[in-house]
Structure 1
Amino acid sequence: MATLFQKLFAIIVWLYKYKWRLLGSVIGLMTISLLLGKLYQHWDDDPDRGAVAMANGAFGESYSTPVYLDQGWSESESLWFYNTTQGSGLLPYDLYLSLEESSSQRLLRDNANMDKYRYLPQKPTFFNPNGLAVGFVKDEYQGKDYVGFTCAACHTSQVNFKGQAIRIDGGPAMSDISGFFAELEKSMMATLTDSAKQQRFIANVLALENNYKNADQVVADLKKWSGTIHLYNTVNHSHVKYGYARLDAFGRIYNRVLQHMINKEQLSNAMKLAVSPTGVRILTDAQITNVLAGVGENIIVDSQFSKIINRLASHDQGYPGLNLRDLLRVRDQIFNEADAPVSYPFLWDIGQSDYVQWNGLAQNYALGPLGRNTGEVIGVFGILDWTAEEPSHFDLSSLLTDQKNKNKVVNFKSSIDLTNLQRLEAQLQRLQSPVWPQEILGKIDTVKAERGQTLFAQYCQACHVVVDRANSKRLVVASMIDIDIVGTDKKMALNGVQYAGKSGNLKDTVQATDVGNVVIREDAPVVQILTSATKGVIATPDADKWFLRRWLDRLYTLGLSFFDNDIPNTVKSGNYKSDTTSNPYNSLLAYKGRSLNGIWATAPYLHNGSVPTLYDLLLPKKRAGDPDDGEYRPDSFVVGAREFDPVKVGFISAGYDGFTYNTSIALDRPVEGNDNAGHEYAAGKTPQLNGSVLPALNEQQRWDLIEYLKTL
């Protein structure tokens, strides 16, 4: 012991004599670097924020250069939000820049093509020299360039009215992510099989003179990444079609975590449980052994999982040659179907909210925002270079994930940029909701709005608090309502709690909940696995930064999380099931009522986007026995156009060839994930927080309430 103290004392003396000046200089340089970073954010100040006019876009839409409303952000702040990386690596940047559509020579990233999938076209600007659509950005990891998603891909919207476009920062995207990824896979496969297309592709990639030196490298990476995209699409294949403006983000995040945590033994055992409708095993032990040959024992990386999927479908070398249905039956033993698409939440007020996510999963206190955003980047292609290693003498990640007694520990190395996530969260605190632009969408009838304000106080305000949009220190308290009470589609909330999977190296580790510690079993709720994995990523040093920069950035990130976050540590508000020791995630079986400022710009409505306009939201769902001449929510409508309906308040939902959203198979037989029932307060069917049911609004009252909602 004396020897240890002597060594420590000697180190302190040495630091005192020689290193403090150097350390002070380094810290000073880091401070200057951060200040320069703040200035750098303002270098891209295009007056149009990169937005461009569109002629003959999707669904025949043409519009002039979009305008912006006053949401508290300058031109440079909008562009910084669009183009700031989170550490997402969808595929190598050079490949993305050069990839053509599957059926033409037009580039996949061409503005007209991206508009088809409802991503917002942009022109080249300082931070976006290649003019990528909003939310697509160049990222760098381990010396290579990738294209990835930013927050803006899912949280920037546009409203069109009579040829004039309005960009909404922080608004819910209209994008069709499933359609885009299907085309991305087709384009990559076409490039592999069409020799002329492949030669053009190779020539264009090499002309960039960036990450590739010869054609063999280009083709090798094209094969590798096409396999990764095919794997992603197969794992997340769903019988529920998303269409525009929706994504099952939870389901896809859950699947990415399961893919990177399951070990070979657990994967083999899971595959043995896949059976046909007659109860016969789909795979024999010998077939499983053959399919898993050469796969790592602990962490199974993307390229290996891609091989597994291809082998399962192949007839070569003794592989089973499964059809799609049987392949999905095997998948369902490993992953969970991502079949609960929801609308992208709007982001204003997120920095001032006590709980976020549709089901209130994420508390915004302390490190809550960092954990939430880390989970989000796991879902949008953070490169997860997780490995199983011999434990070191001290590892914060292993400590926080309770792997300290494991023979192998998971190193949660990744491309996720925690510093940028913290900076983005800080900027969102300044984002304000958009105010109804009367000069574009028409004047608000103040007499009707005043009558509507009284109705809002009676019918809505118990759950949807009215806030001062310009007060950055406001606290927005969410009202969590039990799914059995609010009556809206339950699928997303149920999946969030009930979905389970193999925990890999986290098996038998301990995790804290609000009602006590739990042991993560081999078959565990995915919410537990995700929680531990997120902690592991946050606690793992950034692989792209040198030692001192890592720790200074970590101090900066943690410091802002605690000292720049005024959200108190409180229990949830509302009417919901309490967590118990036997059901520690009960409170997640609820949906959140949040403030409605800017609600006019966030259609379609309800958490799953099942109601096209605010007026329709005030109507009941038609049920068996209801008179045919009543006024009801539409059970089918069209989604995809951005043309605005300022009367009913929402996007037009008929008269064009968009995605048809079907809420029901038949009367009283909803499509799970698509149901448009519930939240029928204005129709006199859903009880208020105090249990009372108010009388249904008449038509005039509905229009009065709509007029008031425009003012929020």
Structure 2
Amino acid sequence: MKITLSILFAILLLSCIDHPLEPPLPPAAVSEVPENWEQAQAGRYQEKSNYIQSHQAAYDWFGNFAFSEVDGIPYIALKLLPKLAPELWGGEENFLDVVGLFIDERQQSYPIARGIGFSGLSRTEAQGNIDYASFTCGACHIGRVRLENGQIDYLDGGVNMTFNIALFRVKLYQTLQTAYAGETSDNKYQLLTQKLLDALDAVQKNNPHYFYNNFQTGNRNFDADYEAAQIALFKQDAVQTIKQFAQRAEAEYEGFGALIAKNYEGLESEMLAGFPGMADATGLSAINGYVSLRKIPVVKWFASVSLPPQPGITDFMSVWEQDKRRTGWDEGHKRLINGGGQWNGNVPMPIYRNLIAMLTLGLEKTDVRVAAFAEELLDGLPASPYPFNVDIVQAKKGQALFAQHCADCHQPKNGKVYDNLGTSMKRAYVVGTLLNYAARKQLYANCAPDTSIQLAGKDVKPCAEFDGISLEGKKDLLMSPNNEHHGYNARPLSGIWAQAPYLHNGTVPTIYHLLIPEERPTSFIKSRLDYDSQYLGFSWNSEQTVNQNEGYLFQVNVIPALSNKGHDKDIVEGEKTYRLNWSGDKQSAFAIIEYLKTL
């Protein structure tokens, strides 16, 4: 990455361009409370099931396909990690449960936890290369909730609140150190290679289906023959392959440490351990640039500047019903308005939002097909319906209150960014001028208007246009200007019951605590699968005894970025007052809660 004074000067000029404000929003329509919740609930489950079946290929790419065919963790090496350091990983059934990736009962023959994909699923030539593994979209965005009968309901497009991406990187680094056994020279990579090959021979001798579980999908069989051929390919160039894999893992760990040191003073040990269900995704993306710059002596001093200037830790988001967040063109087709996706909407177009999430992993030749299929799936993917009972009478009372105080902001295609709610603005300022420029450059390099891919058997150019308008010459629109995303979007609230905990940084456990700010706890349990249907949020009380060992204790207000303040004071806009603090009227707060269950 070359940084010149002329480029930096151009970046500064771009950041100073003024942009007009979003046009005023029309009055919001409000969803009606169904007369029969059980009937409506069953209909919504069926609607979602039908939608996924009709978009099965896109769903499979979203849930199971790796982000690159030529880069990542060698799949065979990944599955051998618990053989190198069994004390760091989980059980035989699922060694990745320690980082919150689970076995999805709907695909029990899949050879590894949900959220891990391998390139053999997408590669045209079955044995054209070794299989590389990476996280998939489903790692963060296929969640779970435990029903009253103890069964698990899967939330496709929701939030996997148990996934701890930071802890995975730390455990990977610790596993390598265990394998090195104190060796610090380049001989450590040979030692690592030999230990992996020894472990490989042992498991292959005992189980010819150890790596792929005889998995079958479509017209591809990952049987014993496929497994034997992959093992032979892996052994051919094992020394170089494993060295590259280990060096990257070490560099990412170093970069993660630099990010923590720069932005998380006072929270270093907690950040190193990671927080399930949340991450500093912007920071993880920037680590890749940091690692690259550290390799260039003349700009090594500049590396820390490439990291975000503020802590950007946030909860994972639900990604269903993206059509309700979809941006659009202004009349002259010069700007994108009236929409935005993630917390502050700084990546307006869906294909690039998906792609930038993939770039977090820093892989070579990121597979644009994953981003394109995700766009196809998520545009109309229905939110998962609330799986418990609803008091219809109360919900109808809440509907009127919601219409009066909430709907104007939380309506579809509201691209307005709010900076007056009292929430921590740290996350909103993570994308500075340099990161904005670097992101646009990287996004364009991966998917330009002339980029062609094979999608469902057809040659397509997924980044050639947006809503019928050519993107040629519109590279600057891949990221919104900095002065347009210093704040947070008020998203539509479809499936809001499953987004708990609340605020962008996940510091408020339930909707009740959001509406009654005086009772917000300074610590609570995150990542339990049980649900609190009274307060509308996942089971949060540390004194509850059900599934006591599930989840982790989360402290708020330990740093400004984890403040649980905000959305707690009434707001006056023009002649209208929007009530946000319902501490003096809990009955109405519970009515709103009941209505939100129906969305």
TM-score of the pair, normalised by structure 1: 0.59
Q: Secondary structure of 2:513's match?
A: helix
Q: Please point out which of 411, 414, 417 is paired with 2:367.
A: 417
Structure-to-structure mapping, 1:691-702, within 5 angstroms? 692=577, 694=579, 696-697=581-582, 698-702=585-589
CA contact (8 A) 2:497 2:536 kept: yes
Q: Please point out which of 425, 430, 439 is paired with 1:490.
A: 425
1:703 paired to 2:584: no
Q: CA deviation at 1:81?
A: 3.1
CA contact (8 A) 2:322 2:380 kept: no
Q: Secondary structure of 1:203's match?
A: helix
Following the alignment from structure 1 to structure 2, what is the Cα–Cα distance between the partners of residues 430 and 255? 33
CA contact (8 A) 1:192 1:222 kept: no
Deviations 1:425-457 (A, max 9, x none): 1122231012222xxx2x211111111111111
Q: Bigger relative contact order, structure 1 or 2, given CA contacts below 8 A and separation 6+?
A: 2
Closer, same or farther in 2 for the Cα pair 1:122/1:692, shift >3 Å? closer
Following the alignment from structure 2 to structure 1, what is the Cα–Cα distance between the partners of residues 106 and 392? 42
1:557 paired to 2:462: yes
CA contact (8 A) 1:114 1:121 kept: no
Partner of 1:82: 63
Closer, same or farther in 2 for the Cα pair 1:692/1:417, shift >3 Å? same
Q: Please point out which of 500, 512, 516 is paired with 1:603.
A: 500
Partner of 2:117: 137
Partner of 2:311: 339
Closer, same or farther in 2 for the Cα pair 1:235/1:381, shift >3 Å? same
Closer, same or farther in 2 for the Cα pair 1:98/1:265, shift >3 Å? closer
CA contact (8 A) 1:254 1:530 kept: no
Following the alignment from structure 2 to structure 1, what is the Cα–Cα distance between the partners of residues 485 and 159? 22
Q: Secondary structure of 1:661's match?
A: strand
Q: CA deviation at 1:232?
A: 1.0
CA contact (8 A) 2:571 2:578 kept: yes
Deviations 1:481-512 (A, max 9, x none): 332x0211211111123xxxxxxxxxxxxxxx
In structure 2, give the amino acid aligned to 1:350: Q
Q: Secondary structure of 1:637's match?
A: strand
Q: Please point out which of 80, 95, 104 is paired with 1:98.
A: 80
Q: CA deviation at 1:358?
A: 0.7
Q: Please point out which of 537, 547, 558 is paired with 1:650.
A: 537
Following the alignment from structure 1 to structure 2, what is the Cα–Cα distance between the partners of residues 91 and 215? 15
Structure-to-structure mapping, 1:45-194, within 5 angstroms? 70-71=47-48, 72-74=51-53, 76=56, 78-87=59-68, 89-100=71-82, 103-104=85-86, 110-122=92-104, 125=107, 130-139=110-119, 143-162=129-148, 163-174=150-161, 175-193=163-181
1:248 paired to 2:227: no
Q: CA deviation at 1:674?
A: 0.8
Q: Secondary structure of 1:227's match?
A: helix
Closer, same or farther in 2 for the Cα pair 1:81/1:537, shift >3 Å? closer
Q: CA deviation at 1:711?
A: 0.8
Partner of 1:502: none
Closer, same or farther in 2 for the Cα pair 1:79/1:426, shift >3 Å? closer
CA contact (8 A) 1:202 1:215 kept: no
Q: Please point out which of 555, 562, 568 is paired with 1:674.
A: 562
1:592 paired to 2:489: yes
CA contact (8 A) 2:324 2:492 kept: no
Q: CA deviation at 1:130?
A: 4.6
Closer, same or farther in 2 for the Cα pair 1:381/1:614, shift >3 Å? same
Following the alignment from structure 2 to structure 1, what is the Cα–Cα distance between the partners of residues 85 and 76? 20
Following the alignment from structure 1 to structure 2, what is the Cα–Cα distance between the partners of residues 170 and 535? 26
The gaps in structure 2 that reach 5 residues or longer are 1-43, 182-190, 206-226, 328-339
Q: Secondary structure of 2:131's match?
A: strand
Following the alignment from structure 1 to structure 2, what is the Cα–Cα distance between the partners of residues 114 and 347? 23
CA contact (8 A) 1:371 1:535 kept: no
Following the alignment from structure 1 to structure 2, what is the Cα–Cα distance between the partners of residues 559 and 130? 35
CA contact (8 A) 2:404 2:578 kept: no
Partner of 2:516: 619
Q: CA deviation at 1:157?
A: 0.6
Q: CA deviation at 1:106?
A: 9.2
Q: CA deviation at 1:693?
A: 5.4
Partner of 1:362: 347
Q: Secondary structure of 1:612's match?
A: coil
Partner of 1:201: 199
CA contact (8 A) 1:102 1:186 kept: no
Larger Rg: 1
In structure 1, give the amino acid aligned to 2:249: I
CA contact (8 A) 2:82 2:95 kept: no
Q: Secondary structure of 1:137's match?
A: strand
Q: Secondary structure of 2:416's match?
A: strand
The gaps in structure 1 that reach 5 residues or longer are 1-66, 271-330, 384-413, 466-475, 498-523, 573-578, 621-630, 666-670
Q: Please point out which of 400, 414, 437 is paired with 1:528.
A: 437
In structure 1, give the amino acid aligned to 2:382: Q
Following the alignment from structure 1 to structure 2, what is the Cα–Cα distance between the partners of residues 212 and 348? 41
Following the alignment from structure 2 to structure 1, what is the Cα–Cα distance between the partners of residues 324 and 67? 21
Following the alignment from structure 2 to structure 1, what is the Cα–Cα distance between the partners of residues 421 and 201? 57
Q: Please point out which of 629, 638, 641 is paired with 2:528.
A: 641
CA contact (8 A) 2:449 2:461 kept: no
Following the alignment from structure 2 to structure 1, what is the Cα–Cα distance between the partners of residues 159 and 450? 32
In structure 1, give the amino acid aligned to 2:165: I
In structure 1, give the amino acid aligned to 2:53: S
RMSD, matched Cα? 3.6
In structure 2, give the amino acid aligned to 1:133: A
1:226 paired to 2:246: yes
In structure 1, give the amino acid aligned to 2:489: K
TM-score of the pair, normalised by structure 2: 0.70
In structure 2, give the amino acid aligned to 1:633: R
In structure 2, give the amino acid aligned to 1:224: Q
Q: More displaced, 695-704 or 148-157?
A: 695-704
Following the alignment from structure 1 to structure 2, what is the Cα–Cα distance between the partners of residues 711 and 230? 47
CA contact (8 A) 1:243 1:639 kept: no
Q: CA deviation at 1:593?
A: 0.5
Partner of 1:432: 382
Q: CA deviation at 1:108?
A: 6.0
CA contact (8 A) 2:309 2:429 kept: no
Q: Please point out which of 356, 381, 405 is paired with 1:375.
A: 356
Deviations 1:624-670 (A, max 9, x none): xxxxxxx42111112121111111111112243533221124xxxxx
Following the alignment from structure 2 to structure 1, what is the Cα–Cα distance between the partners of residues 469 and 45? 28
Closer, same or farther in 2 for the Cα pair 1:158/1:695, shift >3 Å? closer
Q: CA deviation at 1:96?
A: 1.2
Structure-to-structure mapping, 1:34-49, within 5 angstroms? none
In structure 2, give the amino acid aligned to 1:169: D
Following the alignment from structure 2 to structure 1, what is the Cα–Cα distance between the partners of residues 367 and 312? 28
Q: Secondary structure of 1:421's match?
A: helix
Q: CA deviation at 1:378?
A: 1.3
Identical residues among aligned pairs (%): 23
Following the alignment from structure 2 to structure 1, what is the Cα–Cα distance between the partners of residues 175 and 287? 24
Q: Secondary structure of 1:660's match?
A: strand
Q: Secondary structure of 2:417's match?
A: strand
Following the alignment from structure 1 to structure 2, what is the Cα–Cα distance between the partners of residues 425 and 182? 31
Q: More displaced, 111-120 or 187-196?
A: 187-196
Deviations 1:380-406 (A, max 9, x none): 2422xxxxxxxxxxxxxxxxxxxxxxx
Closer, same or farther in 2 for the Cα pair 1:381/1:197, shift >3 Å? same
Following the alignment from structure 1 to structure 2, what is the Cα–Cα distance between the partners of residues 211 and 338? 44
